[in-house]
Structure 1
Amino acid sequence: MSERRRVALAGQQNAGKSTLFNLLTGLTQHIANYPGVTVDKKSGRYVHGVRTFEVVDLPGCYSLTSYSPEERVARAFLLEEAPDAVVNVLDASNLRRGLPLTFQLLEMGVPVIVALNMMDVAEGRGLEIDLAALERRLCVPVVPVVGRKGQGAEALKEAIAAARDTRPATLNYGALEPAVEELQALLADQHALCDLSARWLAVKLLEADAEAENLLARRLDNPHPLLDRAHRLRTAHGGAERTADRIAAARDSLAADIVTGCITATRAGHVPMSERIDRVLLNRFLAPVFLVATVWAIYQLSIVQGYELTKVTWPLLAGFRNLAAGVLPDAGFLVDPQLRSLGLWMVDSANTLLNYVPIFLILFALIAILEDSGYMARIAFILDRILNRFGLHGQSTLPFILAGVFAGGCAVPGVMATKGIPDARARMATILTVPFMNCMAKIPLYTLLINIYFPETKGLMLFYLSTITVIAALLVAKLLTTSVLRGHETAPFVMELPNYHLPTLRGVAQRAFDRTWLYIKKVGTVVVAIAVVIYVLLQFPGVAAERQLAYQARAETAIAGFYDALEGNPHRAAVPDQAALVDLVNAYTAYRAARLNAGGREAAMAIDERFAETHPAFVPFVLRSREADAKRAGRALKDLANTRTTLRREMRQDKIESSFLGMIGRGLEPVTQFADFDWKINVALLASFAARESSVATLGVLFDQDDGQNRTLEDRMGAEQAAEGRTALSAVALMLFFALYPPCLATIIMVRVQTDSYRWMAFAIVFPTLLGLTVASAVFTAGSALALTGLQTMTAVYLLGLALLLLVALPKPWMRLPVRSPVAEDTP
């Protein structure tokens, strides 16, 4: 059995760490999450000699402080897992930026190997690096690599295999050095801390690191003398903030000294290619143009083209549903066995989510390209100042675009795209406001109501709806970040503009597949519980016994009519009893579903042949024939199947009205009456929780029509609503509520996945419901009191929202007052 060793990859973002991880591990990778956080945990393995090496790719971070989840996760792994070696990945073209993290790793006392990546970029910029001098200064092996070209992989593996505990050089903190040494000596005497680097812990205590103080509290029976001494030492040097600044300055000074002694610039005055590109892409006039073009391309490729790909994947999912339907117990004529109903409900719920897979593959690939190329940081740089006024982050832009800033997006990939936002508070605010955007599933209800109540002003109403959601999202984000999210941690905003790089096809594909697979696995575990709850609420307690008897009587009449139509027909022998008749109807339904998903004439002919083999006795009823008796049998079956479909549809409507969800709809009328919602609107809104499209479909069932009529839903709903006294003002209240309504089931699942919290999932349901109902009720009440029309009310709401947005966004006068220090006043 080979010896197994654990290796950690540590480094800053954009240093090529993921590329080296893929280079070392190949396809033997696993992606999950660290417990309690949504930070990716990537691990893989490779074999070198007689040893198997497990490689763990730590989250990219700039330091080992406790400001962000990534930093805490990386530090906790190094402290608790004690890897056999740490590969510190540095960008050779920007060595000074990465060395401060190297110093902190060395202080922790772990065996370190420096992988000097992007050597080709450094050479292109005319930087000559003295590797031997760098090794002497750091006292650790330094291996030059070019990750994206695979150069240096074997040398790196050899260095990892030879890694051993060393005594690396330590950083001298100047005036703070006596304080560090004093704390180091005190910590070294604590037996409970013998597995930790006393020097590293001493520096952290001087930085007033909260996690380091908690570590002492957990390990020591009485940590107060040490904590008190650290506090006194910090105070003697100007306080915690000034001490932390001096420590950071000492690291930067040493990094600058090492760079000066180990790197020679042979092309002085040369402007790097990245800087030349930024002069165009970050130009104050051209930057917005390139940003809009980039976002438009991402939207078109992921959402639009991704949905085009679902035309290919959906037949596969539909085929899987047909397969599941064949395995589950057979359907009854009117009522299906519960096992079949629940099974197909689960399959349909899963298919709804799996249908997003093509979108995610494209989306994650494009995000990987933006990240690896370096442009993602530029997007945050361009928009951060504006979004920051509302508690958001520059990287909140992409989620909002994907969710549908104007119309046609989807909240599921929008929530999924928040994963890369480093600021915890801004990330949560983005997750909770992304569903306000105009996903494609909201458009049918908007279109229905606008066609009924605003046929002359369609364009203006669509403009209002498409932009007021953005206004609402920004205002709500500001509200959340100053209230319920105020306690969330915010990492100091570090804006780094890395060099531009050409992404590798392998790296982009690997990350796209990894993230998509993680989505599939996580959603698959959560969707089961939620789908079962929705199923129970819609299915039970079921249709009343007397109405069930009435449906059964109509079904028996239709069956008797079918047998009457087959009187004297030789094909009647194929259905001697009702059990055989149910088999015939089910076979016919399955055949029609298979033909509907057939991909061409040859596939349809194959389905016909397969049906003839499996159901030879039913062929005259189902397959086309010129025989007169077969034609009569086919017509009789078609009439019976249509009657069955109608009865089942009516039973579903009856079941909705009498279900727990339907009773809830009626029970909510005393509350929703202030927004002018009746029980039918309530049921449609509740049903749309499973899928936004269900709102219009449910309204189509609830606003039914008499036999022989063929009126559109707009005509039916408009006439009935007008008869009940509802006007365009009611439609405005409903559209505003729907814009702020809680996310659909798929999005709620993604909120649960991204926040890893059922509490926040519940908040994402309750808060928008209360907000939407409050806004809708206030708008309807105020509009009625002022006798405003629907258009006048919508215009007033829009202008009010715009005024609030500007009020929040504009700098406050007292914030613009100059603040002068005494030193500044004395300076001439």
Structure 2
Amino acid sequence: MTRPDDLLVVLAGQQNAGKSTLFNLLTGARQHVANYPGVTVDKQYGEYRDPSGRVRTVDLPGTYSLTSFSLEERVARDFLISESPDLVLNVVDASNLRRSLHLTLQLLEMRLPVVLALNMMDVAERLGAQIDQEQLGRLLGVAVVPTIGRKTEGRDRLRQVIRAQARAKQDAGREAEILVRYGDLEPEVVELAELIARSPGLESFPSRWLALKLLEGDEQAVKWIHTRLLTTDADALLERAALMRAAFEAAHGLDVTDQIVACRDRVIARFLERTLRETSDGSPTLTERIDRVILNRWSAPLFLILTVFLIYQISIVWGYELTTYTWPLLAAFREVIASLLPSAGFLVDPYVRALGLWLVDSANTLLNYVPIFLILFALIAILEDSGYMARIAFILDKVLHRFGLHGQSTLPLILGGVFAGGCAVPGVMATKGIPDHRARMATIFSVPFMNCLAKVPLYTLLLGIFFVEGKTLMMFYISTMTIIFALLVAKLLTVTVLRGQETAPFVMELPRYHAPTLGSVLRRAVDRTWIYVKKVGTIVLAVAVVVFTLLQFPGLTSERKAHFEQRGHAAVALFQDALAGNPYLAALQDATLTDLVNYYDDYRRAKLNAKSQAASQAVEARFQARNPEFHPFVTPPAGDQDARAASRALRALASTRTTLRRELREETIVHSVLGRIGRGLEPLTQFAGFDWKINVALLASFAARESSVATLGVLFQQDADTNASLEERMGAATRDAGATSLLAVSLILFFALYPPCLATTIMVKVQTNSYAWMLFSIAFPTALGLTVASAVHSVGLATGATGLQMMTAVYFSALALLILVGLLSGRSRPQAPEGLLARAASRG
């Protein structure tokens, strides 16, 4: 329930002004904050309380203006108009006031109560800028509060001013109307504003601001007029605005938008002459000196490639070594869960135990990679906080443009996982900030090719099995090849189904370099890893339950069950015959053979996990106490020949039982619903080298990418009670089946081109508002991935090439094609309208 003293405060500001940092500072929220423009791609909500009541706070997308130039600008503007906030906290970069104040003037023209937060004051002072804050506030007619968001300075003062200014209810619109006069355009602005003010239905709009929008030809403003007025009145008003615009441009040879931007810029310049004093000696700043090297046309690509290489080398290659420490912990956790579940049966386990261990194995397979992700996310956070991530967008802009993408496609691609560790869902969501439709659609279909977080476990698994020596080179191929594929696909789409759509110029601010803070980097790494862990605990486990059910249903026929039971009875009979006359057979009078075999299996796993002599002795003591009668079967006393014979018989029985359980489980899976589907797909996938198990894992991964490894983990489980790692189990099973590194490369390439997961396809539908495009996002990558994987596997078999040799051939072939397509693409960028160029210039 909203109380009278409750406030609605919105934060508005340009990209990379520290707006999200102040939002976190005010509300205590832990929103993703980075030194990269456009991190906030939608409205973020939070709240805090002051002595007078609750303050609901909204962080709007970062925007340089309030036009309909991009979706972020429309989202911010529509919220300001529709919600009528009590106050707008305009966050500006104190070190770049001339660019920042353009948005401030537009907010004031909207008659919104504004408080100006001069953020990054420490940066401004370091650059030699001295700002007369009181004088700036008097000129603008607003309260001004200096802040340093990343150092948590200014929060209390900001909260006090927000409450005080909201109570004052000052008419910011009155001051705003006299701040900027538009020269030769002013008569048209005044006349059109009067017409708007007299039009019933437009009372909620600031008349002068709406007049400017109509003179600019703003599409959304035109829609508002049509929505709020009768058809004849709307047509008359819009026709009058169009005539004014045409007459002005014909008389002055100047675009209306250019005139508006120029007049605002002159006002800002006059204000800064009276409020800003710069004491810098004019020498290059640290950022400028670094950029001379980092952004040099020759060295920039080298730094970019080196960055990608180091990220994968440190996180995937070196980080993988940490899994040797995490797996024993996960194995111990599995032992605890197994001890709490019903005991295993001789051939068939109780359903609760089978499902429980399936879920634990699915989760453990993925949780084993947590150390890799912690390192990976920390490295990405360092890139974001340092400011280099924005440089990557700048470096890639010309390249992206040649392939039909846009400089602003960089953020969606990064979120999708250019460096791995991303997710296609936020990547596709972030495409709404791309101003032109063609580049936006091309980016939507390119983002799923990136190395999202969920693909990394499968890559790591296959490299750990088949490419122990060439892991570094393979990870470099994988990390860069997906970008090559994405660019080629984007080019293909833009010259075919997306042909004819207009493009827009690339505008992005390069932030100053900042030293990442240890706390921010660690918090981001932990937060993102925790998101991954929660996904394992929800989506992946839900998929695991479905897959488990589909792999068990409908089960074996009664004849096949009887066959396995008969073989089990035969194994038991052999055991009993071997112990005929043996005194240790008496120990089994009050126990079942199943209990003894389970005891033996538990003992064997515990001994394998014991890494020291002390641990091994502890295992002996624990199992001696657990069942003294069974212990001689697993550790025969010295010189006791009967115990030795009993132990040999038990090992034979346990080995036969393991074989029977494996055969029974595999036959059950083969004849299950999912197994039959996997078998049915083999005629299509055999050319890529995929058998039914891989097909089943790939089908499961459509719901969640992580499920591919989780499903493989249990499909290649030699025994339900083994604690061997997936690399050990799958490596042994695949090598026994004749699998080679060539199959691994085929699977890697298919997985890299595989359709987006279910959540991403839903987001494609949301962003494109089309089921046809959603289906296209599934069908096209499937066909492409299967074609590439089949070609690589078939050629490799025909030539006798190894997996690494084929991967190298594919990589350099794709790279050559990329270079050829890039060279053949037009070198010149499309020219934007003059008004757009003026607007871009105003953004610094």
| Residues 477-515 of structure 1: CA deviation (Å, up to 9, x unaligned) | 322445567799977521212222233344444444444
The sequence identity of aligned pairs, in percent, is: 53
Number of positions where the alignment pairs a residue of Structure 1 with one of Structure 2: 785
Q: 1:631 to 1:69 in 2, by over 3 A?
A: farther
1:691 to 704, 708, 713: 708
Alignment of 1:437-516 (within 5 A): 441-442=458-459, 471-482=484-495, 492-516=505-529
Task: Tell me the secondary structure at the aligned position of residue 772 of structure 1.
Answer: helix
Offset, 1:382 = 1.8
| Residues 356-412 of structure 1: CA deviation (Å, up to 9, x unaligned) | 54444433333333233222211221222123322346687899899999xxx8676
Q: Distance in 2 between matches of 1:398 and 1:630?
A: 68
Alignment of 1:779-794 (within 5 A): none
1:285 to 298, 302, 306: 298
1:174 to 179, 183, 198: 183
1:91 paired residue number: 93
Q: Distance in 1 between matches of 2:309 and 2:662?
A: 41
- The answer to whether residue 447 in structure 2 is matched with residue 431 in structure 1 is yes
- The answer to whether residue 656 in structure 2 is matched with residue 643 in structure 1 is yes
1:271 paired residue number: 284
1:551 paired residue number: 564
Offset, 1:126 = 1.7
Task: Tell me the secondary structure at the aligned position of residue 145 of structure 2.
Answer: strand
Listed as ranges, the gaps of 5+ residues in structure 2 are 34-38, 435-439, 719-730, 835-844
Q: 1:733 to 1:502 in 2, by over 3 A?
A: closer
**Equivalent residues of 1:8, 1:87 under 8 A apart:** yes
Offset, 1:261 = 2.6
Offset, 1:131 = 0.9
Which range is displaced more, 207-216 or 165-174? Answer: 207-216
Offset, 1:13 = 2.6
Letter in 2 for 1:739: L
Q: 1:232 to 1:312 in 2, by over 3 A?
A: farther
Task: Tell me the secondary structure at the aligned position of residue 377 of structure 2.
Answer: helix
Offset, 1:627 = 8.6
Alignment of 1:673-752 (within 5 A): 690-691=707-708, 735=745, 739-741=749-751, 748=757, 751=760
Offset, 1:695 = 7.4
Offset, 1:550 = 1.6
Q: Distance in 2 between matches of 1:474 and 1:314?
A: 38
Q: 1:529 to 1:502 in 2, by over 3 A?
A: same
**Equivalent residues of 1:434, 1:473 under 8 A apart:** yes
2:724 paired residue number: none
**Equivalent residues of 2:343, 2:353 under 8 A apart:** yes
Offset, 1:810 = 0.9
**Equivalent residues of 1:418, 1:430 under 8 A apart:** no
Larger RCO, structures 1/2 (Cα 8 Å, 6+ apart): 2
**Equivalent residues of 1:299, 1:401 under 8 A apart:** no
Which range is displaced more, 599-608 or 14-23? Answer: 599-608
1:253 to 254, 266, 269: 266
Q: 1:790 to 1:586 in 2, by over 3 A?
A: closer
2:50 paired residue number: 48
Offset, 1:141 = 0.6
2:375 paired residue number: 362
Letter in 2 for 1:119: M
Letter in 1 for 2:171: R
**Equivalent residues of 2:68, 2:220 under 8 A apart:** yes
Q: 1:56 to 1:305 in 2, by over 3 A?
A: farther
Offset, 1:93 = 0.9
Q: Distance in 1 between matches of 2:323 and 2:409?
A: 26
| Residues 765-806 of structure 1: CA deviation (Å, up to 9, x unaligned) | 53222113344667899999xx98879999997786455423
1:152 paired residue number: 154
1:341 to 354, 371, 377: 354
Q: TM-score, normalised by structure 1?
A: 0.77
Task: Tell me the secondary structure at the aligned position of residue 309 of structure 2.
Answer: helix
Task: Tell me the secondary structure at the aligned position of residue 708 of structure 2.
Answer: coil
**Equivalent residues of 2:374, 2:525 under 8 A apart:** yes
Q: Distance in 2 between matches of 1:608 and 1:659?
A: 41
2:120 paired residue number: 118
Which range is displaced more, 793-802 or 525-534? Answer: 793-802
Q: Distance in 2 between matches of 1:25 and 1:814?
A: 47
Q: Distance in 2 between matches of 1:540 and 1:814?
A: 59
| Residues 506-563 of structure 1: CA deviation (Å, up to 9, x unaligned) | 4444444444444544565443554344334433333343222222222222233444
Alignment of 1:659-678 (within 5 A): 659-668=672-681, 671=684
Letter in 2 for 1:333: F
1:708 paired residue number: none
Q: Distance in 1 between matches of 2:224 and 2:537?
A: 37
Question: For the aligned residues, what is the CA RMSD?
Answer: 5.2
Letter in 1 for 2:12: A
Task: Tell me the secondary structure at the aligned position of residue 668 of structure 1.
Answer: helix
| Residues 413-464 of structure 1: CA deviation (Å, up to 9, x unaligned) | 688788877544464244222259996745877999999xxx9x99999999
Q: Distance in 2 between matches of 1:547 and 1:511?
A: 53
**Equivalent residues of 1:538, 1:655 under 8 A apart:** yes
**Equivalent residues of 2:753, 2:784 under 8 A apart:** no
Q: 1:637 to 1:199 in 2, by over 3 A?
A: farther
**Equivalent residues of 1:740, 1:768 under 8 A apart:** no
**Equivalent residues of 1:141, 1:159 under 8 A apart:** yes
Offset, 1:142 = 0.4
Q: 1:294 to 1:135 in 2, by over 3 A?
A: same
Q: Distance in 2 between matches of 1:300 and 1:798?
A: 19
Which range is displaced more, 631-640 or 484-493? Answer: 484-493
**Equivalent residues of 1:122, 1:128 under 8 A apart:** yes
Offset, 1:110 = 3.1
